[in-house]
Structures are given as structure tokens and as C-alpha cells.
Amino acid sequence: MAEREVKVYTRFNRLWHWSQAGSILLLFFTGARVMGLHTLMPFQLAVVLHSAVALALLLLWAFATFWLFTTGAWKQFLPSQMGLWKVLRFYAYGVFHGEQHPYRKILRRRHNPLQALAYLALKTVLFPAIWISGLAYLGYALWDDADTSGWGLWVVANIHLLAAFAIASFVVVHVYLLTIGHGFREHVRPMITGFERVTLTPEQEAYLRQEDPSLVKTDS
């Protein structure tokens, strides 16, 4: 087996990632204005932008979910216990003592066990929570008659807020982890160029070079 620079992130994959990242940051900014945490833009504009960006992101997530299942890329997010404790130990102890990361990326599984578990929780718990609560909040006029005490709106608002803070925490940790190991630039580069260094079997390398030589960079 050998490490090679392989194009593992498609153009859509990268477009989805950066569009999602930009949208989430804009949602944090406008959401903070709606909460009254800053006054850097008019309140009404913040509400309109927050709603519009949220709906656009929801549409993007729908397309991305369709893409994940039709291409089989969803399998990358299946968690595994194999090597999980080694990765946990590395982030809790090894990274502060100069140890090498215990996980080696392979073509069929780019994410280490901890990453896969975190992404799975994000996509199956936090994202649905913020989608459903956000839509319920946006469409409150359709069900306010059934919420005479206002308790339902309070529940929806707090679920939306908690999910938003949980996603914000994920983003902070995600950016922090990009600074570990090879450095921020090396971690970000694959999501720009599409190429990442992964371990290939001789059969995988031969197959990729035969199908499309541009998928594998030749070592100089």
C-alpha cells in the first residue's frame, strides 16, 4: 500500500462545503442580531436575511442529501468503534506530546472514527433539530391559534437556540482541529483543490489510473 494524492472531493462536494460554511456563518451573524447580541445591522434586515439564507441552505441540504445517497458517499459517515479510542486518546493526550495521528486515511473511509461519529450526530440530530424548529418558528402564524399560552413557541425557540449553539460549538472545534498536525493550510487545501493524500492498495491505484489518470497525481 502507498500514499497518493487522490481527487476525493468532487466539485459539487467542495461547492456544498463552502456554501454551507458561508451560509452558517451568515446565519450566526444575523441570528445574533435577532437575539440582540449586536446592532451592526438593522433588525428587520437581519430577520429577512436570516430567513432567506436559512431556506436557501435547507434547499442545499436537500440536494446534498440526495447526492450523498445516490453516490454512496453517505457510507463515509458511518461510525466505527475500530480505532475510536486511539483517536480519542490522541486528541486528549497524544497531540500535546508530539505523537503521530493514529489514523491513516484510505480511499473508502476518509474520516477517522471520531470524525464520522461527530458528522453523523451533526447530520442526524443537530441539523434536523434546527431545520424543524426553524420552520416551525417561521410558520408560527399557521399554528399560533393552538398555542394560546405561548409555551409551544418558547419550546420551539429554545430548541432552535440550543441547536444553533451546538452547531456553533462544532464549528469552533472543527476550525481548532484544522490547526493540529500538518497545519491549517494543509488541512484546508484538499477542500479547495479536491486532492487529498490517502492510502491506496495497488489494485485501487491501478483501477483509478485506468479509469481516469487525472484522479491520481503522479509523485514528482
- Of residues 203 and 139, more confidence is placed in 139
Whether 123 maps to a domain, the answer reads: yes
Q: How far is CA 17 from CA 61, 187, 203, in A?
A: 10, 14, 30
Is 182's pLDDT higher than 70? no
pLDDT band at 219 (very low <50, low <70, confident <90, very high): low
Q: pTM of the entire structure? A: 0.84
Q: What is the pLDDT of residue 37?
A: 93
Q: What is the pLDDT of residues 7-45, one digit of tens each?
A: 888 888 899 899 999 999 999 999 999 999 999 999 999
CB within 8 Å of 33: residues ≥ 6 apart: 39, 40, 41, 43, 46
Chain mean pLDDT for the chain: 87
Domain region containing 179 = 2-8+75-215
- Biggest CA-to-CA distance, the chain: 70
Is 201's pLDDT higher than 90? no
Pick the closest to residue 25 from 131, 158, 164 (CA basis): 164
Whether 113 maps to a domain, the answer reads: yes
- Of residues 122 and 96, more confidence is placed in 122
Whether 48 maps to a domain, the answer reads: no
Is 183's pLDDT higher than 80? no
Q: What is the pLDDT of residue 84?
A: 84
Tell me how crowded residue 133 is: count the other CB atoms within 10 A of its CB: 20
Whether 220 maps to a domain, the answer reads: no
Q: What is the pLDDT of residues 113-159, one digit of tens each?
A: 888 888 888 988 999 999 999 999 999 999 989 888 889 999 999 99
Number of H helices, E strands in the chain: 10, 2
Considering its fold, how many domains does the chain have in total?
Answer: 1
- Which contacts of 207-211 are long-range, i.e. CB under 8 A and separated by 24 or more positions? 208/6
Amino acid at 19: S
- Of residues 156 and 77, more confidence is placed in 156
Whether 64 maps to a domain, the answer reads: no
